[in-house]
């Protein structure tokens, strides 16, 4: 067996295992596994590796660095699947991401919303985004404060070229305790409140390698999984 075949087989086994755990978590929660999407976070991995995973049971790719996303795109590594931007985005880098990422998951300010809206208008498209909340109020993390959700939704509703599809968060470190699960429940409540108030949302992005099972049990519609698919990152 060649090295490439071995790598491909390992990726296939890992994706199958993640999918099985996702389906089990969904069924436990009385949910349809088909309603939960898998975003494969391929940051730090070579285009060759990403390409080997492209036709596996993953729905989209997640990137947190704009330059790396560009390389993977230029190399055709996604095999035509959509790519989501999940990293911190500076207003002056918006040009390189709008239109290339099918979903920008990490929008956390009105300034960024407006910059994305202006670039999307220039390109004649509507850019789908998620609002990222700093759900645990952590100093070290980006994301908008919970209380800013409502003004952000209001600001976004005035922008014709931006569509808010839902919410995203990276909660405090997960240890499977009730205390660490409550952040997922809190995000879900905000998501449902926003829908109740008329926001046409369909995406709740929460859960990573260590926490995607709990996140699905708490209502995630999209999980972002890196290490469980690609192994530990080289940097």
Ligand X SMILES: *Cc1c(COP(=O)(O)O)cnc(C)c1O
User: By CB under 6 A, what part of segment 162-201 binds ligand X?
Assistant: 170
Closer CB to ligand X, 39 or 153, in the complex: 39
Closer CB to ligand X, 201 or 215, in the complex: 215
Cβ atoms of residues 126 and 161 within 8 Å: yes
Which residue intervals of the chain are DSSP H helices? Answer: 3-28, 47-53, 66-74, 94-97, 110-123, 149-157, 178-196, 212-217, 227-230
Residue 224 as a binder of ligand X (CB under 6 A): the answer is yes
Using CB under 6 A, pick the residue from 15, 36, 83, 208 that binds ligand X. 208
User: By CB under 6 A, what part of segment 1-60 binds ligand X?
Assistant: 41, 43
Whole-number Å distance between alpha carbons of 78 and 172: 30
CB of 103 to ligand X, least distance (A): 13
- Interacting stretch for ligand X, rule CB under 6 A, among 11-19, 182-190, 191-199, 218-226? 218-226
Residue 111 as a binder of ligand X (CB under 6 A): the answer is no
Beta bridge partners of 84: 62, 103
Beta-carbon contacts of residue 28 (< 8 Å; ≥ 6 apart):
217
Q: In this structure, what token pair is assigned to residue 97?
A: 């991401």
Cβ atoms of residues 152 and 117 within 8 Å: no
Closer CB to ligand X, 189 or 227, in the complex: 227
- Interacting stretch for ligand X, rule CB under 6 A, among 29-37, 71-79, 187-195, 224-232? 224-232
Residue 225 as a binder of ligand X (CB under 6 A): the answer is yes
Phi/psi-derived region of residue 128, left when phi > 0, alpha when psi is between -120 and 50, beta in every other case: beta
Residue 226 as a binder of ligand X (CB under 6 A): the answer is yes
Closer CB to ligand X, 88 or 114, in the complex: 88
Residue 209 as a binder of ligand X (CB under 6 A): the answer is yes
Whole-number Å distance between alpha carbons of 207 and 205: 7
**Using CB under 6 A as the criterion, which residues of the chain lie in contact with ligand X when the complex forms?**
41, 43, 64, 86, 170, 208-209, 224-227
């Amino acid at each position: 067996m060649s090295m490439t075949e071995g790598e491909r087989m390992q990726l296939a086994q890992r994706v199958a295992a993640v999918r099985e755990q996702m389906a089990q978590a969904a069924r436990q929660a009385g949910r349809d596994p088909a309603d939960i999407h898998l975003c494969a976070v391929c940051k730090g991995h070579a285009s060759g590796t990403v390409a080997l995973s492209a036709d596996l049971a993953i729905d989209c790719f997640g990137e947190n660095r704009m330059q790396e996303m560009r390389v993977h795109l230029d190399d055709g590594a996604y095999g035509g699947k959509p790519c989501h931007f999940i990293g911190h985005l500076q207003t002056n880098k918006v040009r390189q991401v709008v239109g290339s990422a099918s979903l920008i998951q990490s929008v956390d300010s009105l300034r960024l919303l407006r910059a994305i809206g202006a670039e999307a208008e220039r390109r004649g498209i509507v850019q789908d985004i998620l609002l990222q909340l700093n759900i645990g109020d952590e100093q070290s993390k980006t994301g908008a404060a919970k209380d800013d959700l409502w003004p952000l939704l209001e600001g976004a509703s005035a922008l014709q070229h931006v569509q808010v599809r839902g919410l995203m968060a990276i909660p405090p470190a997960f240890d499977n305790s009730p205390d660490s699960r409550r952040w997922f429940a809190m995000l879900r409540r905000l998501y449902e409140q926003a829908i109740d108030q008329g926001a046409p949302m369909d995406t709740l992005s929460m859960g990573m390698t260590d926490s995607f099972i709990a996140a699905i049990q708490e209502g995630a519609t999209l999980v972002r999984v890196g290490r469980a698919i690609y192994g530990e990152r080289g940097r």
